[in-house]
């Protein structure tokens, strides 16, 4: 079966927990896809075709992305599995694997703090994710998007040519 990710330059990978930031991830995906094209933005439920091996597709997508957006909600650190263990402590947790892979590859990782979530402290994370706390984060909340001048405008990294046309991406 052909994976749905391909090795597309300029890929944006969205890492999020459905239990925590599904709505915000959906909104952000729609916004990014309308600006860059849906083939440039990877979000699991919107990017994995029926019948694809999701582990392989996610691994390929993280391995070929240029930027990973780590959506962090107020429960991102504390969500537990069915046995009551924190999911971030599981080395097989997809969110952990996605961010670890991106950090290891020196991919630009942008924490997106959703609706008042705070940046985790290094001691709250597995050692393999500790570098996440040193990344400049952006806040994503309804309040920020109601302001006359959108604070995200102009903040999108201009390190890739296809990001240079971002002026309308965060328009109010």
pTM score: 0.79
Query: Considering only CA atoms, which of 65, 66, 51 is closest in space to residue 5?
Result: 65
Enumerate the domain spans of the chain. Answer: 12-166
Kindly report, residue by residue over 84-103, the tens digit of the pLDDT: 999 999 999 999 999 999 99
Q: Average model confidence (pLDDT) for the chain?
A: 81
C-alpha 51/C-alpha 1 separation (Å) is 8
Q: Tell me the β-bridge partners of 86.
A: 80
Q: Which fold has domain 12-166?
A: Rossmann fold (3.40.50)
CA atoms within 13 A on the CB side of 99: 27
Residues 115, 142: contact at Cβ < 8 Å?
yes
């Amino acid at each position: 079966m052909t994976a749905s990710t391909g090795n597309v330059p300029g890929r944006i990978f969205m890492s999020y927990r459905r239990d925590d930031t599904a709505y915000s991830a959906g909104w952000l995906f729609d916004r990014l896809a309308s600006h860059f094209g849906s083939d440039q933005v990877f979000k699991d439920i919107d990017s994995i075709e029926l019948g694809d091996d999701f582990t392989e597709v996610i691994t390929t997508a993280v391995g070929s992305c240029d930027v990973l957006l780590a959506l962090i909600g107020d429960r991102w650190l504390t969500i537990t599995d069915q046995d009551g263990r924190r999911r971030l402590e599981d080395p097989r947790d997809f969110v952990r694997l996605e961010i670890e892979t991106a950090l290891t590859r020196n991919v630009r990782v942008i924490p997106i703090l959703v609706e008042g979530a705070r940046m985790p402290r290094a001691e709250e994370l597995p050692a393999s994710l500790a570098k996440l706390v040193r990344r400049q984060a952006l806040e994503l909340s309804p309040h920020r998007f109601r302001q006359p001048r959108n604070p995200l405008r102009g903040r999108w990294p201009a390190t890739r040519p296809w990001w240079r046309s971002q002026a309308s991406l965060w328009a109010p």
